[in-house]
Amino acid sequence: MQALKIIFKSLFKKKIASLLILLQLTISLYMLITSVIQMNSTNFQENQFEKHFNKDMNTMVHLTIQSNDDSKQYTKSYFDLQTFISNMPEVNAIGAYDLTNTSFKELETDAAFLQLRKNITAGTFKERFPQAVEFLNVEAGASKIIELKVSEGRSFVTSDFERGTNVAIPLLSGAAYKEILQIGTILTDSNTQQKYQVVGFLADNSRWFSDSNYIRLPFIELDDKFVAPFSYLEEDAMWLHSRSDKLFYELKDTQDFETVKNAITVKAKALNLPVQSITVADELAAFKKDNQKEITFIVVVSSVLGLMTLFGLVSVMLSTIVARKREFGIRIMVGTTMRYIQLLIWGEIFVLTTLSSLIATLILYFQKKNDQQEWAGVVNEMNDVTIEVMLSAVAIAFVFSLLASFIPIMRLRKLQPREMVGGID
Q: In this structure, which long-range contacts are made by residues 194-197, counting pairs with CB atoms below 8 Å and at least 24 apart in sequence? A: 194/169, 194/231, 194/233, 195/167, 195/168, 195/169, 196/104, 196/168, 196/169, 196/170, 196/171, 196/226, 196/228, 197/166, 197/168, 197/169, 197/170, 197/171
303 and 379 share one domain: yes
Give the domain-ending residue among 244, 273, 302.
273
159 and 222 share one domain: yes
36 and 71 share one domain: no
Give the domain-ending residue among 215, 249, 273.
273
Whether 54 is covered by a domain: the verdict is no
Whether 107 is covered by a domain: the verdict is yes
85 and 38 share one domain: no
Give the Cα separation of 97 and 116 in Å (integer). 26
Helix (H) or strand (E) holding 261: helix 257-270
With beta carbons less than 8 A apart as the criterion, state whether 187 and 108 touch: no
32 and 98 share one domain: no
Whether 55 is covered by a domain: the verdict is no
Whether 311 is covered by a domain: the verdict is yes
Give the Cα separation of 206 and 181 in Å (integer). 18
Pick the closest to residue 248 from 224, 264, 269, 235 (CA basis): 264
Q: Map residue 103 onto helix, strand or coil.
A: coil
240 and 114 share one domain: yes
80 and 154 share one domain: yes
Q: Would strands 195-202 and 169-173 be described as parallel, antiparallel, or unpaired?
A: parallel
242 and 325 share one domain: no
Whether 306 is covered by a domain: the verdict is yes
The vertex-165 CA angle with 162 and 170, nearest 5°, equals 80
Whether 62 is covered by a domain: the verdict is no
Give the domain-ending residue among 240, 273, 306.
273
pLDDT of residue 188: 94
pLDDT of residue 376: 44
**Which residue ranges of the chain lie beneath pLDDT 50?**
374-379, 424-425
Q: Which residues of 180-198 are buried (b: 16+ CB within 10 A; e: fewer)?
A: bbeeebebbbbeeebbbbb
The vertex-275 CA angle with 160 and 138, nearest 5°, equals 20
Give the Cα separation of 361 and 36 in Å (integer). 12
Whether 283 is covered by a domain: the verdict is no
With beta carbons less than 8 A apart as the criterion, state whether 347 and 4 touch: yes
Q: Is the dihedral of CA 369, 371, 377, 380 positive or negative?
A: negative
Largest CA distance in the chain: 100
Whether 222 is covered by a domain: the verdict is yes
- The per-residue pLDDT for range 383-415, each reduced to its tens digit, is 566 677 677 777 777 787 788 888 888 887 887
Q: Is 64 exposed, middle or buried (0-12, 13-18, 19+ CB in 10 A)?
A: middle
pLDDT of residue 91: 95
309 and 231 share one domain: no
Q: Map residue 57 onto helix, strand or coil.
A: coil
The domain total for the chain is 2
209 and 112 share one domain: yes
266 and 306 share one domain: no
Residue 258 belongs to domain spanning? 67-273
328 and 263 share one domain: no
Measured in whole angstroms, how far is the alpha carbon of residue 60 from the centre of its chain?
Answer: 22
- The per-residue pLDDT for range 157-214, each reduced to its tens digit, is 988 888 665 678 999 999 999 999 999 999 999 988 899 999 999 999 999 998 888 8
Helix (H) or strand (E) holding 317: helix 280-323
Give the Cα separation of 148 and 322 in Å (integer). 69
Enter the pTM of the model: 0.73
